[in-house]
Amino acid sequence: MSSPSHKRIWKVVSLIPQGKVASYGQIADLAGLPGRARMVSKALKCTPEELAIPWHRVLRADGKIAFPVGHEFGLQQQQLLREEGLQVDRLRVNLSACQWQPDLPTLLFALDY
């Protein structure tokens, strides 16, 4: 199931560079869906296999991995983030100096504005 909103969300997430992270709410805002952080999580859950996007770079606003402790995806996410050089402590990322700040022109171009 894919809606126009989902596609915009996937595009925005695909722009997050290696070593940087963003929150669900931030992605929603950038995708033109203010206040709809939960829609971002849904969109990620429905991501088609063939679409390779850096889903692991999306965290809660406080830097925590959204999956419960012990969840397989959470552990995988933690590992992927560490492989990018980020410091992850107990499923939480130290947000200092790794928060994504999108380049506006690039963002607008990606969203066909």
Q: Is 99 in the site for DNA (CB under 7 A)?
A: no
Q: Using CA atoms, how far apart are residues 44 and 47, in angstroms rounded to an integer?
A: 5
Chain position carrying tokens 């849904």: 42
Q: Is 80 in the site for DNA (CB under 7 A)?
A: no
On the 0-12 / 13-18 / 19+ scale of CB atoms within 10 A, 64 is middle
Q: Is 8 in the site for DNA (CB under 7 A)?
A: no
**Candidate segments 19-27, 79-87, 102-110, binder of DNA by CB under 7 A:** 19-27
Q: Which residues, at least 6 apart from 48, have a Cβ–Cβ distance to it below 8 Å?
A: 2
Q: Is 73 in the site for DNA (CB under 7 A)?
A: yes
If one counts every other C-beta atom within 10 angstroms of the C-beta of residue 107, the result is 15
Provide, rounded to whole angstroms, the least separation between the CB of residue 19 and DNA: 18
Binding site for DNA (CB under 7 A): 1, 3, 5-6, 23-26, 35-42, 44-45, 47, 55, 58, 60-62, 66-67, 73, 77
